[in-house]
């Protein structure tokens, strides 16, 4: 039986890619002078099958969930911060709340599994799959039912979105940089030491412990990770799995995805392992200060647009990349050609 998450996304169209490349070459600028903006517009042309790619209607959805592994002492902040920040997202005080407004994007907050039950909050969609995951050092983070349910939360957020052409996922979860590091080890087979970082800002001593925690979790789970779903079930998180489900559904529906930081990239890599056809729809916004992030991006052959030493999460880096990507679209659409503007071509 095939599952919803295995259905293919529309392929990139190589004819539109070639036409977009030709159009870029015809515009009034030295060949290649818009650098990475040209790559973005060309890739969008290939997946959206148009010479006038567009990212006008954006949805930013932040998924929140707690992590059992926090009992190992791997974060600089207490678990209660996940729920406290959900409140802050909802009341407009978080960085992503501000950025979503600044970027004119629709903004949603989804509770996929905080430990603390939150009373009915305006602007928060309550889709809790559980009260935090289990500690991956001692058991699987969740059951397969919970794993699929969390992915369906993400899928349904995309299905319920109106007519959007770009999706930005954000996450909030104290301890989730440990889960992301474990996912990164699972997908790259690099060492735990290479993939752990300071997350919210831990000490050297805690960093050594975090590495040992990931090593312990991997020795338990690695022999059983026969497919991407099993990886997400064993060492993922509710918000991470919701992101993976949202990425897969967005690509299936022809919606471009802008991937945020380390945790989002770990979710994206898991989603690609489950459904490789989604890869052409993923755009990588920034390289975060987590040292594992650049390694994971390399593994995915992904070139992020920005490097701002950010390590916030919430979708903040992706929100900042959006106007650059929108500008890339407008430039390809609206710039004059050498012929139109009567500008002489060079020899390049």
Three-state DSSP at 187 gives: helix
Contact flag: residue 290 with ligand DMD (CB under 6 A): no
**Contact status, residue 11 vs residue 49, Cβ threshold 8 Å:** no
Which residues are 111's β-sheet partners? 64, 126
Q: How many residues touch ligand NCN (CB under 6 A)?
A: 24
Given ligand NCN, ligand DMD, none, residue 262, with its beta carbon under 5 to 8 Å by kind, binds ligand NCN
How far apart CA 169 and CA 60 sit, in angstroms, is 6
Residues 6+ apart with CB under 8 A from 44: 53, 55, 256, 325, 328, 329
Interface residue with ligand NCN among 12, 111, 290, 321 (CB under 6 A) is 290
Residues 6+ apart with CB under 8 A from 88: 94, 97
**Contact status, residue 228 vs residue 142, Cβ threshold 8 Å:** no
Of 304, 297, 289, 296, nearest in space to 258 by CA: 304
Span from 44-52, 289-297, 307-315, 320-328 in contact with ligand DMD (CB under 6 A) = 307-315
38-97 residues in contact with ligand NCN (CB under 6 A) are 75-77
Contact flag: residue 247 with ligand NCN (CB under 6 A): no
Q: What is the DSSP letter of 118?
A: -
Span from 2-10, 65-73, 202-210, 312-320 in contact with ligand DMD (CB under 6 A) = 312-320
75-94 residues in contact with ligand DMD (CB under 6 A) are 77, 81, 85
117-136 residues in contact with ligand NCN (CB under 6 A) are none
CB of 102 to ligand NCN, least distance (A): 19
314 flagged as catalytic: yes
CB of 290 to ligand NCN, least distance (A): 5
How far apart CA 145 and CA 263 sit, in angstroms, is 22
CB of 271 to ligand DMD, least distance (A): 21
How far apart CA 134 and CA 142 sit, in angstroms, is 6
* Per-residue x/- track, 166-195, ligand DMD (CB under 6 A): ------x-----------------------
Which is it for strands 106-113 and 166-172: parallel, antiparallel or unpaired?
unpaired
* Catalytic annotation, pick one of 38, 140, 239, 314: 314
Given ligand NCN, ligand DMD, none, residue 290, with its beta carbon under 5 to 8 Å by kind, binds ligand NCN
Three-state DSSP at 168 gives: strand
| Torsions phi, psi for 220 (to 5 deg) | -75, -45
Catalytic residues: 314
What is the binding site for ligand DMD (CB under 6 A)?
A: 77, 81, 85, 172, 200, 312-314
What is the binding site for ligand NCN (CB under 6 A)?
A: 75-77, 171-178, 199-200, 260-263, 288, 290, 293, 311-314
């Amino acid at each position: 039986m095939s599952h919803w998450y295995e259905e293919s996304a529309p392929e990139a169209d190589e004819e539109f890619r070639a036409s977009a490349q030709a159009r870029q070459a015809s515009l009034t600028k030295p060949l290649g002078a818009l650098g990475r903006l040209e790559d973005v517009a060309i890739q969008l042309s290939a997946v959206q099958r148009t010479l006038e790619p567009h990212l006008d209607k954006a949805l930013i959805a932040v998924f929140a969930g707690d992590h059992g592994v926090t009992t190992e002492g791997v974060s600089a902040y207490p678990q209660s911060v996940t729920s406290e920040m959900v409140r802050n997202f909802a009341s407009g005080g978080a960085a992503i709340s501000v950025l979503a407004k600044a970027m004119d994007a629709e903004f949603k907050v989804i509770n996929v599994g905080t430990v603390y039950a939150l009373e009915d909050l305006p602007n928060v969609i309550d889709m809790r799959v559980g009260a935090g995951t289990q500690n991956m050092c001692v058991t699987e983070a969740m059951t397969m039912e919970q794993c699929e349910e969390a992915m369906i939360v993400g899928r349904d957020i995309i299905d319920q979105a109106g007519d959007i052409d770009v999706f930005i996922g954000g996450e909030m979860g104290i301890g989730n940089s440990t889960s992301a590091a474990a996912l990164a080890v699972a997908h790259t087979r690099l060492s735990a030491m290479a993939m752990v970082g300071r997350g919210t800002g831990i000490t050297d001593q805690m960093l050594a412990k975090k590495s040992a925690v990931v090593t312990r979790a991997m020795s338990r789970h690695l022999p059983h990770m026969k497919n991407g779903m099993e990886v997400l079930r064993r060492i993922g998180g509710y918000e991470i799995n919701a992101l993976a489900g949202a990425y897969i559904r967005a690509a299936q529906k022809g919606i471009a995805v802008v991937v945020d930081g380390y945790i989002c990239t770990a979710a994206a890599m898991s989603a690609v392992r489950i459904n490789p056809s989604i890869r052409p729809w993923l755009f990588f916004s920034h390289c975060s200060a987590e040292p594992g992030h650049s390694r994971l991006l390399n593994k995915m052959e992904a070139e992020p647009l920005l490097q701002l030493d950010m390590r916030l999460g919430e979708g903040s880096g992706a929100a900042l990349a959006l106007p650059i990507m929108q500008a890339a679209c407008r430039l390809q659409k609206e710039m004059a050609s050498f012929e139109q503007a009567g500008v002489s071509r060079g020899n390049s």
